[in-house]
Amino acid sequence: MKARNRLIGAALFAASSLVLSGCSLDEILEVHVPGKVLEEALDNASLADVLTTGVVAEVECSWNQYVAGSAHHSDEYVPTSGNLTMRNWGQRKIYASDAGYAQGTCGGWGYPMFTPLHTARFQSEDVSARLSGFEDVSNLAALQATAATWGAFPLVAMGEGFCSMAIDGGAELTPAQVQAEAEQRFGNAISLAQAAGDATLTMQGQLGRARVRIAKGDFAGALADAGNIPDGFVVEVTRDAAESRRYNYYFERLNAPTGFRAHGSVADNYQNLTIGADGMPTDGDGVPDSRVNVKTDGTQAADFATVLYYHDKYNSRSDPLPLVHWHEARMYEAEALAMQGDVDGALAKINGLREAAMLPAVTASVGAGEIMDLVKEERRRQLFVLGGHRLHDMLRFNIPFLGDPGSIHPNGLDQTGAEYGNLTCFQLPEVERKGNENIG
């Protein structure tokens, strides 16, 4: 808004100057105001790099908002905001009627999701179509692979965190249908990346597809994709402190250790996690689990009622966050092997991650009936506040949400006595239902 006001002020100043200099009204009205671009102007091969960079920027912004919002909605945080909107995010009360959630744009208040994810998805499709018509662009193959690979990730969020989805005014889709669409797009992106000879984009697409395949229960496919990802591989979503659109939302909304922005505090069930002598996960009795390094300085959160707990993964507005991370590749392998009955193979993947974190290996006897419980707990710790994984795990494994029986707040009330809502997955917004003629 400040930038817009400055633009208006500059235009008015220019207009008044022209009037004083004897210029006609017609000439004033012909003054060009930057920021408006005709669609056909984008069909310009010289803009190929700029258009592709725009796709990455839109995906980064939408991913940043989705993963932070899904963490706030999951059991990783308890609600501690003094602001009603932000408290509703932590209390499972952001429903289909919420305008900010449905129609807010990148950098908006709360965690706008629906519009930014679709904006990123559409821009990827639009730019990919334009690139296919360009000639004499030296790096065209790499640009096409970039637009396609990054553009598939909004479909991951749509298929994991939402109850249902609609794309381009089409019919209402189930999560499984959205995941099938995401898998297809990743397949196309991987082919383009391989044709361009870009190993990083190829692995980025393979790791994205492994995530989708795990969600679909395609364990052989997930193993094939995740097995191509080497230890240490990470693709980051860049952030900076220049403007709100670019802030790291994990930090800005949740993890600033001051109480001012502390709209959530790391939940009790993530505090003081340890590893026992036999390598089994424990709670307060063993080696501190450095993957969930939760701390407090004793100050209160923004609600002035809850002691603020925070972690060490995102410590400023400019800290990057992962789009894909090799840790998730090893966890996909562990889950797929466990589901196929290979207990030793699953334990080997878990222990590889333990070794990287300098934590004790699992030496306890783990049977076929116990291995998936261990995998779920390892995912909870290994992927803590990383990539929106926890919300999806809660949905697919039927893990109780805060306020539900079996959670740390089983009676429907949070730690201050305030009532939780009943939201689990994110609902298809009312504006989509009312405006989409293909949805009843």
Residue range 386-431, pLDDT digits in tens: 999 999 999 999 999 999 999 999 999 999 999 999 999 999 999 9
Neighbours of 33 (CB within 10 A): 10
pLDDT-derived band at 262, boundaries 50, 70, 90: confident
Distance CA 314, CA 255 (A): 7
42 domain residue, yes or no: no
pLDDT, mean over the chain: 90
Does residue 408 sit within a domain?
yes
pLDDT of residue 31: 44
Would you say residue 34 lies in a domain? no
Q: Is the pLDDT of residue 29 over 60?
A: no
Choose among 199, 228, 193, 226: nearest CA to 211: 226
In CATH, what number is assigned to the domain containing residue 433?
A: 1.25.40.390
Residue 335 lies in a domain: yes
Q: What is the pLDDT of residue 45?
A: 78
Which 3 state secondary structure label does DSSP give 34?
Answer: coil
Q: What is the token pair recorded at 334?
A: 């562990």
The SS3 call for residue 263 is coil
Structural domain harbouring 339? 48-440
In the predicted structure, residue 16 carries a pLDDT above the cut 90: no
Answer whether 362's CB lies under 8 Å from 279's CB: yes
- Domain total in the chain: 1
Query: What's the CA gap between 337 and 366, in Å, rounded?
Result: 14
Residue 180 has a pLDDT of 98
What is d(CA 328, CA 211) in angstroms, rounded to the nearest whole number? 8
Q: Which two tokens stand for residue 120?
A: 């990123």
Q: At what angle do helices 153-161 and 48-73 cross, to 10 degrees?
A: 20
**In the block, which residue shows the tokens 């779920």?**
376
Which among 96, 89, 150 has a CA at the least distance from the CA of 119?
A: 150
Structure tokens at 376: 């779920």
Contact 358, 375 (CB under 8 A): no
What is the DSSP track for 176-208?
HHHHHHHHHHHHHHHHHHHHHT-HHHHHHHHHH
DSSP 112-129: --HHHHHHHHHHHHHHHH
CA-closest candidate to residue 393, choices 410, 376, 405, 409: 376
Tell me the CB-side half-sphere exposure of residue 339, using CA atoms within 13 A.
17
Give the type of residue at 154: P
Q: Residue written as tokens 């963490």?
A: 71
Q: Is 8 inside any structural domain? A: no
CB atoms within 10 A of CB 407: 18
The reply to whether 426 falls in a domain is yes
Quick: pLDDT tens for 331-365: 999 999 999 999 999 999 999 999 999 999 999 99
Q: What is the pLDDT of residue 38?
A: 57
264 alpha carbon, distance to own chain's centre = 17
Contact of 140 with 48, CB cutoff 8 Å? yes
Rounded to 5°, the CA angle 426-216-52 comes to: 70
Per-residue confidence (pLDDT) for residue 424, from 0 to 100: 98
Q: With beta carbons less than 8 A apart as the criterion, state whether 51 and 39 touch.
A: no
- Percent above pLDDT 90 for the chain: 83
Angle between helices 114-132 and 140-151 (to 10 degrees): 160
For the stretch 80-136, pLDDT in tens is: 998 999 999 999 999 999 999 999 999 888 999 999 999 999 999 999 999 999 988
Within a domain: 303: yes
Determine, yes or no, domain membership for 20: no
Name the token pair of 47: 């803009």
Measured between alpha carbons, how far is 320 from 313 in angstroms, rounded to an integer? Answer: 10
- Cα 356 from Cα 353, distance rounded (Å): 5
